[in-house]
Structure 1
Amino acid sequence: MNRRRCATAAITLVCALTVLASPGLAYAAPEPRPTASTSEAPKKSLEQVRQEIDTLYRQAASATDSYNLAEEQAARQSAEIVKLSMEIIKGQQRIDALKDRAGAAARAQYRGGGLPPEARLVLTDDPQLFLDGAGRIKQGHKATKDLLGELTRTQTDLTAYTKDASVQWQRLEAHRVKQAKATKEINGKIAAARKIEDTLEKAELKRLLELEKEVQYTSQTAWLSSGALTEINRSASAQGRKAVQFATAQIGKPYVWGAEGPDSYDCSGLTSQAWLAGGKGIPRTSQEQWRLLPRVAIKDMRPGDLIVYYADASHIGMYIGDGSIVHAPRPNRNVTITGAGSMEILGVVRPDK
């Protein structure tokens, strides 16, 4: 009986193992539930998109200033190299002329029999000729000394010019490297901003422009309400009026980074050319305009003054009175008028102070 029970249990166990091992019967593991990390990221709001685009264009503007400064310095270095090259040529010509004079003196001595003037003087019996000869020998010694001194100075100058030219060339190459780096960064930032804009529908682009204007209006209203500007219609100087007239005449022309007119401008290209038209040359870049031009308080602003924006001085516009500026905003925008307080003000400079 016990043996039969054991046999029955064994048969049951074998059948169960056979069923479980059968290839026709498989049991799949349950599907994993989607986690938060694999779910689709939420779509950005238009305001977030606006801020992202604005940041990219501001970074491009900062790189544009670096490009403009490198370009200005490269032009200055090129001019200095040309100047030094002319000095080197003149110095070499001067050395050649001095050597010719020294050679002529040597040939004259050879024609005199090869004797130095002092020896010929000793051999003369004429007292007057002796006195005249002594005077000429003294003059000749002085002339020779002067000739050798001038030759030495010219050679020293030539060496210095050559060394200077080498240094200027190295600086020129360094500025060209900076230009290339800035160009790559500018194009990258602008391309990234445009890529975002290209993903937007026509209605979204329109709304994006409206948001931009709303932010500017809010900032301008808050700035005017703060009392920062006590007098909005001060009189411009004669040069300031000419600068304003030039700048406002450019309204509608496109922003192009690195441009100084006459068909397009970047922000500092517009202000520098406007003040040049007003009869005053100023630095090319917004950062140099901020660094080098005399500063005035915001409350004392008058038309023609330049308002510098953002902590890195990467943007600049010209105050035209009535709380407004004319400026070249950014790529995909034209020279226009907007509120002076529509952006973060760093300070104000006055070219003709």
Structure 2
Amino acid sequence: MGSGKQSLTMAAMALACACVVLAAPGTAYASPASHAARTPNPTPTPTPSTTPTPLGSKDLEAVRKKLDDLYHDAAVATDAYNAAEEKADKQSAEIVDLAQEIVKGQAKLDKLKDRAGAAARAQYRGGGLPPEARLWLSDDPQQFLDGAGRVRQGEHATKGLLGEMTRTQQDLKQYAKDASAQWKKLEANRKAKADAKKKIKKQIAAAEKLESQLEKDEKERLAKLEAEAALKAQTAWLSSGVLAEINTKASEQGKKAVKFATDQMGKPYEWGAEGPKSYDCSGLTSQAWLAAGHGIPRTSQEQWKQLTHVDVKDMRPGDLIIYFDDASHVGLYIGDGAVVHAPRPGRTVTITGAGSMPILGVVRPDA
């Protein structure tokens, strides 16, 4: 993707001209209405043909590449949307936890204040004369000394109580500060989510508009071109001899992930979806591994960043193949050189050649 921009531009210009022809209505011409007597059998002016000029092979190939670009950009935006949603969910949960800590801390502080107040009142009631005077006036010096010891213990306890109150107040301030920071992050991710959503809709709408301008036979030819491009890439990948080197068996969790993913075949692609009725590419892979009892990151980019990388020759069924330089697509390897994946809008979960798209690398969830 992104190569041959000059030829693509020329092809796109030709496509634009073809689209104008497709969209242009036929021009109506009126037959002569006068001089009927002098022209008994007037010859009507022929109406120009309204049959659209079919797109040539080069133009249709330009359409295919343009659609690839649009859907790729939509996939990148979908990953951004999913990442922002995941972060927003996490931050919302953290804010709830902090709020609960604040409530508990405030209740604790209230109790400490009550205890401190009671201690202060007790000290006030026992105050007045200095200790020396109370000792001389006491009928029982030993009782006084015992009481003085308890007073000192009480003073130490009061100091500890005041220290605990101070620490609790500091904790409350920190909780409030953390909650404020998380709230700002939450708002930023909500904005990122909204921006990504707009971009996704824009790219998909542009792709759908482009496809809607094609005639039925052109859509069939386009589908054939897409299949031929995928087959060409898969054949080149297999010709490298890579499949002969892949002989690793799936783990038990990998088998479960493969079964879950293949059971979803035929369900439609939907950006941001995690099932059970529809999926996007990373929604399918993350749910497959969740069903296998092993949670993994939600997006293809985070799956690439966080999971263990393995060589293509060492991959086994259940591993994830990450595609394109920006890690914008992912499929689940099922063996025999094939992956199951959710391709793009307008398509369903299906099996295709593992090498039918540019491979960035392979990651293993249960390494």
Q: Which residue of 1 aligns with 2:343?
A: 329
Q: CA deviation at 1:97?
A: 0.6
Instruction: Measure, in 2, the Cα distance between the counterparts of 1:351 and 1:48.
Output: 38
| 1:170 aligned onto 2:184 | yes
Q: Which residue of 2 aligns with 1:20?
A: none
Q: Which residue of 1 aligns with 2:317?
A: 303
Q: Which residue of 2 aligns with 1:62?
A: 76
5+ residue gaps, structure 2, are 1-13, 19-54
Q: CA deviation at 1:102?
A: 1.2
After superposition, the C-alpha distances for 1:238-292 in whole angstroms (9 at most, x for unaligned) are 0000000000000000000000000000000000000011111100000000000
Instruction: Measure, in 1, the Cα distance between the counterparts of 2:243 and 2:132.
Output: 91
> Structure 1 143/41 Cα, relative in aligned 2: closer, same or farther at 3 Å?
closer
| 1:147 aligned onto 2:161 | yes
Conservation of the 8 A alpha-carbon contact between 2:15 and 2:62: no
Q: Which residue of 2 aligns with 1:211?
A: 225
Instruction: Measure, in 1, the Cα distance between the counterparts of 2:130 and 2:184.
Output: 51
| 1:73 aligned onto 2:76 | no
Instruction: Measure, in 2, the Cα distance between the counterparts of 1:305 and 1:165.
Output: 38
Q: Which residue of 1 aligns with 2:107?
A: 93
Which segment drifts farther, 61-70 or 130-139?
130-139
Q: Which residue of 2 aligns with 1:259?
A: 273
Q: CA deviation at 1:41?
A: 6.1
Q: CA deviation at 1:131?
A: 2.3
Which segment drifts farther, 179-188 or 102-111?
102-111
Q: CA deviation at 1:111?
A: 4.5
| 1:115 aligned onto 2:133 | no
Which residue identity does 2:344 align to in structure 1?
R
| 1:284 aligned onto 2:298 | yes
Instruction: Measure, in 1, the Cα distance between the counterparts of 2:120 and 2:240.
Output: 86
1:238 to 252, 275, 290: 252
Instruction: Measure, in 2, the Cα distance between the counterparts of 1:118 and 1:151.
Output: 29
> Structure 1 286/40 Cα, relative in aligned 2: closer, same or farther at 3 Å?
closer
RMSD: 1.8
Instruction: Measure, in 2, the Cα distance between the counterparts of 1:263 and 1:120.
Output: 86
Q: How do residues 185-196 of structure 1 correspond to structure 2 at under 5 angstroms?
A: 185-196=199-210
Which residue identity does 2:288 align to in structure 1?
A
Counterpart secondary structure, 2:244: coil
Q: CA deviation at 1:202?
A: 1.1
> Structure 1 241/119 Cα, relative in aligned 2: closer, same or farther at 3 Å?
farther
Q: TM-score, normalised by structure 1?
A: 0.85
Conservation of the 8 A alpha-carbon contact between 1:229 and 1:298: no
Which residue identity does 1:168 align to in structure 2?
Q
Which segment drifts farther, 74-83 or 124-133?
124-133
Q: TM-score, normalised by structure 2?
A: 0.82
Which residue identity does 2:88 align to in structure 1?
A
Conservation of the 8 A alpha-carbon contact between 1:57 and 1:193: yes
Q: CA deviation at 1:235?
A: 1.1
Instruction: Measure, in 1, the Cα distance between the counterparts of 2:178 and 2:248.
Output: 49
> Structure 1 332/201 Cα, relative in aligned 2: closer, same or farther at 3 Å?
same
Task: Give the total of aligned pairs.
Answer: 314
> Structure 1 298/117 Cα, relative in aligned 2: closer, same or farther at 3 Å?
farther
Q: Which residue of 2 aligns with 1:268?
A: 282
Conservation of the 8 A alpha-carbon contact between 2:78 and 2:196: yes
Conservation of the 8 A alpha-carbon contact between 2:15 and 2:63: no
Identity of aligned residues (%): 67
5+ residue gaps, structure 1, are 1-38
| 1:105 aligned onto 2:119 | yes
Q: CA deviation at 1:137?
A: 1.5
Instruction: Measure, in 1, the Cα distance between the counterparts of 2:240 and 2:332.
Output: 21
Instruction: Measure, in 2, the Cα distance between the counterparts of 1:286 and 1:51.
Output: 22
> Structure 1 202/40 Cα, relative in aligned 2: closer, same or farther at 3 Å?
closer
